[in-house]
Amino acid sequence: MGKYILALDQGTTSSRAIIFDHDGSIKATAQKEFKQIFPQPGWVEHDAMEIWTSQASVAAEVLLKARITGDNIAAIGITNQRETTIVWDRKTGKPVHHAIVWQDRRTAAYCDSLIKDGKEQLIKDKTGLRIDAYFSATKIKWILDNVPGVREKAEAGELAFGTVDSWLTWNFSNGQLHITDVSNASRTLLFNIHDMKWDDELLSLFGIPASMLPEVKPSSEVYGYSEATLTPYRIPIAGIAGDQQAALFGQMCTEPGMLKNTYGTGCFMVLNTGDKPIPSKNNLLTTVAWQINGKTTYALEGSIFIGGAVVQWLRDGLGIIRHSADVEKLAATVPHSDGVYFVPAFAGLGAPYWNQHARGTMVGITRGTSAAHIARAALDSIAFQTMDVLKAMEGDAGMPISELRVDGGATSNNLLMQFQSDLLQVRVVRPHITETTALGAAYLAGLAVGFWDSIPSIARQWKVDATFEPSMETSQRQQLCKDWKRAIRAAQAWTAED
């Protein structure tokens, strides 16, 4: 038995590989950014070959950094940016088009037409999702309809569709595996989360041939082996989960009512709802969390499209900071945002508003507004959006939430975490290991090969790094929340044509 688990964390802006030991501690990590492609406003693409080569190269690099070889690895776990859509040729293994990223809005008008045709309830009942350009089905349809010759090839059974997990397992297994797991399948708009199968009625609605689809598997089992792409060793590929579900598992939110928020490019709050899918009355998504040993766990999720990406924009778009980490220092030079509110709806508004036509809006700017106030308002916006989703979740779950477990890059920002606790009036807990997405994938893979013997024994590894308790005056919090609501109304007013 190998002594370590290799987690591959394929994210929106970078590919990472992390090696975990039996205590769930990090032995080594490697990361590589890759190119973001913006062919026109609202369109976001990745080069799928670059996703694969960057992920393969960090996987090789992390073994070198850890000074180990493939025979020290007990299993590989994969976690990935979800909804991002790749279609490739089964014979050549080459993509027929760039990957269309989850943030991409090119199918928004088609989504509007489906809603107009009254398809919203049918889709929501089967998939737990809303009709939105965010999900994979409309992206697959766009590729079939817009890339010459592709629909014919798809109908002849020559093409494969996959989200990023499928693309990576296909390549690591040298074309032996065309699979996905239940958590990723549940984000495509094509998967029925009640009978846990691809849905013929939905495939026909979107005009997608069933032959393109991967086989759906549990989130933790030995699916197959890496062929000689990574090392000469055949390593079991044994765990797959979409990034947010993996983070929920890595945070050990394994009981109903437990909740985490990941602060990444976007922010994603996920609540474990146990063995029953809870339909949302508050514009959240009902989704599959994972399936282990034949038992399916469901979740409610609120997606905020722009979280940490707002800090990247301050760095790359505005140029007011040189490094993302500088934002906390700059924001801390002022006591508050001085009445500036920033709604970073660069790619529309996600939960609980779901306005795909909204755009970024800044209000309350005066002659005295400085770069520091804008930085503060940008950080505040991450906490405000999280608050909106948490309130919607409390409504759906029918219970107050007392603790939020947090992870992701922005959680190292103590200023933001304290403000988050103040707004929510709940305890915010940051774990010792904030790489919970990769850790979740490692746990799923390790359970499948017996590297860890049970979920309770893994849960004992979870350790707290810092806790933030609310300390803001009620009147101040109420005023902030009221003004944030006004800022949201301003962002939505911009979408009205008249």
Asked if residue 13 belongs to a known ligand binding site, the reply is yes
Residue 319, annotated ligand binder?
no
Whether the CB-CB separation of 338 and 369 falls below 8 Å is answered with yes
Sign for the CA dihedral angle at 442, 445, 448, 449 comes to negative
HSE (side-chain half, CA atoms, 13 Å) at 485: 7
Please tell me the distance from the alpha carbon of residue 275 to that of residue 289, in angstroms, as a whole number.
10
Q: Would the annotation count 69 as a binding residue?
A: no
Q: Per the annotation, does 244 bind a ligand?
A: yes
Strands in 319-452 per DSSP E: 341-343, 361-363, 403-407, 427-431
Max CA pair span of the chain: 66
**Is 225 annotated as ligand-binding?**
no
Q: Is 265 annotated as a binding residue?
A: yes
Q: How many CA atoms lie within 13 A of 417 on its CB side?
A: 25
- Judge whether 312 is annotated as a binding position: yes
Q: Is 82 annotated as a binding residue?
A: yes
12: annotated binding-site residue?
A: yes
Q: Is 413 annotated as a binding residue?
A: yes
Whether residue 451 contacts residue 461, with contact meaning beta carbons closer than 8 Å, is answered with no
What is the rounded distance in angstroms from the CA atom of residue 333 to the CA atom of residue 164? 41
> Is 92 assigned a ligand-binding role in the annotation?
no
Residue 431 near residue 464, CB atoms below 8 Å: yes
Contact predicate 422/484, CB 8 Å: no
For the record, the structure tokens of 396 come out as 């759906």
User: Is there a binding annotation on residue 275?
Assistant: no
The answer to whether the beta carbons of residues 168 and 52 sit under 8 Å apart is yes
Residue ranges of the binding site: 12-14, 16, 82-83, 134, 243-244, 265, 308, 312, 409, 413
Residue ranges of the binding site for ATP: 12-14, 265, 308, 312, 409
Residue ranges of the binding site for glycerol: 82-83, 134, 243-244
